Amino acid sequence: MTRFTPEELKAARDRLVPDVVAGGLHVLFCGINPGLMTAATGHHFARPGNRFWPVLHLSGFTPRLLKPSEQRELLSYGLGITNVVARATARADELSAEEYREGGRLLAEKVAGLRPRWLAVVGVTAYRAAFDDRKARVGPQGRTIGASRVWVLPNPSGLNAHWTAATMAEEFARLRVAAEQG
């Protein structure tokens, strides 16, 4: 993995990272916003401590552990990645409530156009802020966006100590089963 200097990471602040999307996906995973490592590399969930890629594999979504640089391979499995807020920051707490709300509005427009079976937001706090749903919990939501159903997954950041890779994989697998059933 490429090593970046603190200056290079700082220079990645506010960069945009292209989505990995296509119409009619089985699941569109939605992160909170790109971190600086993601922005520096251009690859989603690129920070070494992030458990997204291992959990995706452990849950059965991918037949092998993908590297962030292989993110476009997700499309061949009917999967994609986007973010609630597009701009990169060092920490999600740098985002304003307005950015979350506007991100939720733009995300709803994106989902309505792409029409994935499921939108999977990774991070219940981000989902609550983006969609003004303070009672949301991890799991399937009552909300739909067009024909797309919504599932909230635990945040795979290494900072989320409440969930282990194994317990996250169980929740991701619940979504995978639901997505396979249509």
The catalytic residue positions are 33, 44
Helix (H) or strand (E) holding 178: helix 165-180
42: closest CA among 64, 68, 75?
Answer: 68
140: closest CA among 155, 150, 129, 127?
Answer: 150
Handedness of CA 32, 161, 71, 59 (dihedral sign): negative
